[in-house]
Copies of this chain bind each other. A is one copy, B any other.
């Protein structure tokens, strides 16, 4: 490994990827071949300046951990929530980060002297999940975290759609009598299986509300049983929406709720099977066999961001270097 890093150093061959989340930055350094050199996590700052500082500090620490310095960086990719203009590298309305408008790619590129690309975090994670799972053809990455959104990857490329709402299945309403969503609609998929919506509906003390819901459901609590059913039903509805519209071959589930592990995966599978019980058409789709869960703490999002950065043409490396 040391030998490989020295070789990389000589040729500026470290690719960095960062997943900038509401609480932490997850950063990875990979070789051009996709091998992991180093990984670290550090807290995310609040506000535009703090986000830039946090990213620069994470990258600096990361390359030091990989036994190199910033001159060895070939490219940086950043996945971040909010409205991202992948061409300009500008981020808008990343409300969980206190960011209203930020020229993230430009500011970080100037500090690091390396080309920087920015992508919506869920889209970057989708790219990473497809690569880590070796999926060709079409797939969706369904992120079950505080909110719910999906990214679609086709033949190794992010499916952008016309206006950036591809995969926004979290805000499809599947129950006109359902809970009010933060988006203003009622019965959105996110109100069923978003961690934030479930925590609000549960409304009891505890730092891991969705885990508490599952534990209480196991113990027979009626409210918890209903919310657990909502969780699995909502995730199943998201899978159905992705397959019956974009017709992806596989759906990879990621995000914070994957900390629930097999309890989540088997619950979604069971909901997909139960939803197909009365329908030969739905059974013919075998949706329960087409989902899989990322392991908790998967580096898919940061890894995908590194791939986004790696898409930078080489001439840009020269310009910025």
Residues of A contacting B: mostly: loop
Find out whether the CB atom of B173 lies under 8 angstroms from the CB atom of A237: yes
Find out whether the CB atom of B174 lies under 8 angstroms from the CB atom of A177: no
A121 to B214 alpha-carbon distance, docked (Å): 46
**Copies per complex?**
2
A168 interface residue per 8 A CB criterion: yes
Question: In the complex, how many residues of chain A place their beta carbon closer than 8 angstroms to a beta carbon of chain B?
Answer: 43
Residue on B nearest A137 in the bound complex, by CB: B162
Contacts of A225 in B (CB 8 A): none
A244 interface residue per 8 A CB criterion: yes
A262 interface residue per 8 A CB criterion: no
Contacts of A246 in B (CB 8 A): 161, 166, 245-246
Find out whether the CB atom of A241 lies under 8 angstroms from the CB atom of B245: yes
Comparing A9-17, A69-77, A274-282, A313-321, the segment that makes contact with chain B is: A274-282
Report which A residues bind B (CB closer than 8 A).
137-138, 150, 160-169, 171-177, 181, 183-186, 237, 240-249, 275, 278-282, 285
A-B CB proximity, top 10 nearest: A161-B247, A184-B279, A162-B249, A245-B245, A166-B247, A184-B278, A183-B281, A168-B244, A165-B247, A246-B246
